[in-house]
Amino acid sequence: MFKGSIVAIVTPFKNGTVDEKKLSELIEFHIKNGTSGIVPCGTTGESATLSIEEHEKVIESTIVQVKKRVPVIAGTGSNSTAEAIVLTQHAAKAGADASLQVSPYYNRPTQRGLYQHFKAVADAVKIPLILYNIASRTGVNIEPETLARLAGDCKNIVAVKEASGNLEQMSKIKKLCGDAFDLISGDDSLTLPVLSVGGTGVISVVANIVPREVADLVAAFQRGDIAKAQEIHYRLLPLVKAMFIETNPIPVKTAMGLLGLCEPDLRLPMSEMMPDNLEKLKVALKEYGLLK
């Protein structure tokens, strides 16, 4: 169901508020360049510093602008189960095609707690849910067995965005959950390897600045042109590395500012890049041909 290059879109700010006009322009930029889906209010969208009202408005605005041309996968996870349910119900009512559910952060729930959390959200809505496994930021890994149990018990839990960096774990997920359950890369540097073990695509950060290239990589692999996919993969790698020289989304938003895609404004505690890292980012953009 969920495949291709899906962008974890930034939330553009201007003078401290969400820039809805720029958000609409970015969405058109992605659809024009072959992006297969839009994820508003994910980690890259600075969801942690959006108010509830802003969060809901960004999702609503995205749905209106997309006009069903590609799926909108609303980031509505929380470390509060009750809040995740409220946000997800709002997204479903607004017309989102699916929801991205990050595992509860800071709480460090057990596998039993994770199961009960995700099941409670799944039981509260009818739209498909994609679980988001990123232990480096949440403090807890969703084990393959827990995912398999959730996929079996909750028919609307249909995919996982895997950002564990562990290909062995991803292979186990694919084996336990079966072909009907989508394995989606959550790490731009591992998109090609994840595709090779049965993945269907990527929820991408770097696609914010090079959407066509990420879309082309996945499309090349899916049509069997492995050599082309490898070529794009290796060309993208230095740029991908530059997107994570500081905490996401600091580098990608800074890059978008340099490229004139949106203002580079971030919300504290996300801060502007250190000067040495900014120079490294500029070098990567220049070497890729994006910046003169």
Residues assigned a catalytic role: 132, 161
In whole angstroms, what is the distance from residue 140 CA to residue 214 CA?
29
Residues 147, 152, 156, 159: is their CA dihedral positive or negative? positive
> Nearest 5°: phi and psi at 182?
-85, 130
Residue 193 tokens, joined:
């390897």
Distance of CA 284 to the CA centre of its chain: 22
Nearest Cα neighbor of 147 from 199, 123, 183 is: 183
Residues 43, 46, 49, 54: is their CA dihedral positive or negative? negative
Determine which helix (DSSP H) or strand (DSSP E) holds 99, and give its type and residue range.
strand 98-102
